[in-house]
Structure 1
Amino acid sequence: MTQRGPEPWRLPRGDEVETQVPQGIDTSIAHPARMYDYFLGGKNNFAADRAAAELILQAVPETRYVARINRDFLVRAVRTVTAEYGIRQFLDLGTGIPADGNIHEVAQAVAPETRVAYVDNDPIVLAHARALVSGDPRGRTTFFQADLRDPEKILAAPEVRDVIDFDQPVAVVMAMVLHFVRDAEDPAGIVARLRAGLAPGSMLILTHASFKTEALKRYAEEVYDRASAPVVPRSADEIAPLLAGFDPIEPGLVRAPLWRPDPGTPEPTPQELEEAVVYTAVAVKT
């Protein structure tokens, strides 16, 4: 692996002229949500995000594939818990930039009355969400700025409680976010504190990045460490404890393409499965 050179993912202030951003937000520092938007082919990102994303793609070209299979899993999971488990409210933590297959779109296509609370710590993400997201008028959506490391604040927020009734089952979505929580920040404890505020029958939809090799893992950690969040890829054995207190539904904790693929979907090739470095699970609060 070559040594790191200059840091092209941090640009001088004032270089960004692509869109208005909330005051105090430094778009010269890459942000994971906007990098993810770039991986999906979106346009809601800045030069710093694209530069950081391209560094990842140079080392891990399959990152675009990983972003897509994660998104496809999320669509299947939301559809499943809405249609088969009767969930009518979702709490999405780490919303990201809106893209095709938003939670409210998928869920409300099954049950128009479904309510969704989107939560993210990036004001730019929420600004995009408010501008781009519209749902079925029979349901409701809301947006709240908070960090998933403060679950009590999220659970108590009037903006969230105005839409989500925590006395009834709710599906908590944590898609590609917990690998931005360091071990010292106790990701399992964060999930446990969220679980404590949920009614029986509530569900957790989880996706989490892993890596094929230690070398790629270290490279990703270096790049994201220069962005606004660290990345901590974990193995399946390290991800499994995050589901404590939840009972995974079939097929359990598996790589994204293996979780209840749509009928007619070709079986992934060995190479595709090797590159599918995102683990997924849907689980019920026990």
Structure 2
Amino acid sequence: MVYGEKPQTHRIDMNTPSVARMYDALLGGTTNYAVDRDACNQLLQIAPSTQLLARNNRAFLGRVVRYLVEEEGIRQFLDHGSGLPSLENVHEIAQDLNRDCRVAYVDNDPMVHAFGRTTLDENDNTMVIDADMRKSDDIFRATDTFFDWKKPIAALFVSVLHCLADTDDDRDPGAMIKRVAAKLPAGSFLVICQLVSDKATVRTEVTQLMEEATGGHWGRVREPDEVRAYFEGMRIIAPPGLVDVVDWKPDTPPPPPELRATDWVEWGGVAQV
């Protein structure tokens, strides 16, 4: 099912880069425009490892979902900022392991919904929610009968928090995480990773580029300690703890230091609330 559609707002802007379409371009997808690819090229000039990071992040998502289904018995997934459909979407991975897994995708990008209606919303155990990921109450209402809120749920925030700006109200990423964690049933999990850099120049230049390119639909490249703060009060799954995502329970040997990104990385992990 597709929840919360607002046809008057579903206008695809082909003249302004979209974070979802840029991510698709970096993964080698075709659901993007020249303006998105141009923005990616500018981004690659600042941070040459960006395309590699996008692919590492997608692989991390697959490993996390498999771990949660196989090792933790999770059967319900709430994917915030799900982005455009790609290879091995969350419901495909989870339902391949257990057909009873239920997955709700949340995104407010019009192109995500155009494709999500046909690709992501393909059986009774999947749904697509048209909502800003910060609108937690709307998301909870949309999934009230879809999920069993007495059983554990995995809330995914995979490579999306850098799209959200810091604020002094409940739209702040940290406030949103606390709100979701408080709502989740006992035994639930949070998966969080975002782009971080130890280099101030990279953080500043990427943030400025993306802020201008997307017309303000961007947040901030952060530092690892800032992401660590999102996990306060939770039991972090360790090993491996909070790490570069290529080091999170890898199924192949992770790259040696000389082959790793030096500009920025996807950083985070998994925690039980």
Q: Quick check: TM above 0.5?
A: yes
Q: Distance in 2 between matches of 1:270 and 1:64?
A: 18
Aligned match for 2:30, one of 26, 30, 43: 43
Per-residue Cα deviation, 1:35-66 (whole angstroms, up to 9, x for no partner): 00000000111222111111101221210100
**Counterpart in 1 of 2:130?**
145
Q: Which amino acid in the other structure matches residue 196 of structure 1?
A: A
CA contact (8 A) 2:228 2:268 kept: no
Aligned match for 2:91, one of 104, 110, 119: 104
**Counterpart in 2 of 1:202?**
188
Aligned match for 1:216, one of 191, 198, 202: 202
Q: How does 1:206-245 map to 2 (within 5 A)?
A: 206-226=192-212, 227-228=214-215, 229-245=217-233
Aligned match for 2:115, one of 125, 128, 131: 128
1:180 aligns with 2:163: yes
1:59 aligns with 2:46: yes
Q: Which amino acid in the other structure matches residue 154 of structure 1?
A: I
**Counterpart in 1 of 2:5?**
none
**Counterpart in 1 of 2:269?**
281
- Report the TM-score, using the length of structure 1 for normalisation: 0.86
Per-residue Cα deviation, 1:1-54 (whole angstroms, up to 9, x for no partner): xxxxxxxxxxxxxxxxxxxx9753322111111100000000111222111111
Q: Which amino acid in the other structure matches residue 195 of structure 1?
A: A
CA contact (8 A) 1:88 1:114 kept: yes
Q: Which amino acid in the other structure matches residue 100 of structure 1?
A: L
Query: Alpha carbon RMSD of aligned pairs, Å?
Result: 1.8
Moved more, 200-209 or 267-276: 267-276
Aligned match for 2:59, one of 67, 72, 91: 72
What are structure 2's unaligned runs of at least 5 residues? 1-7
Query: Aligned residues, how many?
Result: 259
After TM superposition, give the deviation of residue 174 of structure 1 in Å: 0.4
Q: Distance in 2 between matches of 1:41 and 1:129?
A: 18
1:269 aligns with 2:261: no
Q: Which amino acid in the other structure matches residue 125 of structure 2?
A: R
CA contact (8 A) 1:248 1:282 kept: yes
CA contact (8 A) 1:212 1:274 kept: no
Q: Distance in 1 between matches of 2:39 and 2:140?
A: 33
Give the percent of matched residue pairs that are identical in Structure 1 and Structure 2.
37
Q: Distance in 2 between matches of 1:133 and 1:144?
A: 11
After TM superposition, give the deviation of residue 149 of structure 1 in Å: 1.5
Q: Which amino acid in the other structure matches residue 53 of structure 2?
A: V
1:247 aligns with 2:223: no
Q: Which amino acid in the other structure matches residue 130 of structure 1?
A: R
CA contact (8 A) 1:252 1:282 kept: yes
User: Cα gap change, 1:124/1:202 in structure 2, threshold over 3 Å: closer, same or farther?
Assistant: same
Secondary structure of 1:51 counterpart: helix
Q: Distance in 2 between matches of 1:56 and 1:66?
A: 12
What are structure 1's unaligned runs of at least 5 residues? 1-20
Q: Distance in 2 between matches of 1:272 and 1:166?
A: 43
The higher radius of gyration belongs to 1
CA contact (8 A) 1:220 1:231 kept: no
After TM superposition, give the deviation of residue 203 of structure 1 in Å: 0.5
Q: Which amino acid in the other structure matches residue 266 of structure 2?
A: V
User: Cα gap change, 1:175/1:23 in structure 2, threshold over 3 Å: closer, same or farther?
Assistant: closer
After TM superposition, give the deviation of residue 195 of structure 1 in Å: 1.2
Moved more, 52-61 or 209-218: 209-218
CA contact (8 A) 1:257 1:273 kept: no
- Report the TM-score, using the length of structure 2 for normalisation: 0.89
CA contact (8 A) 2:162 2:220 kept: yes
List, as ranges, runs of 4+ consecutive aligned residues in structure 1 with deviation greater than 6 Å: none
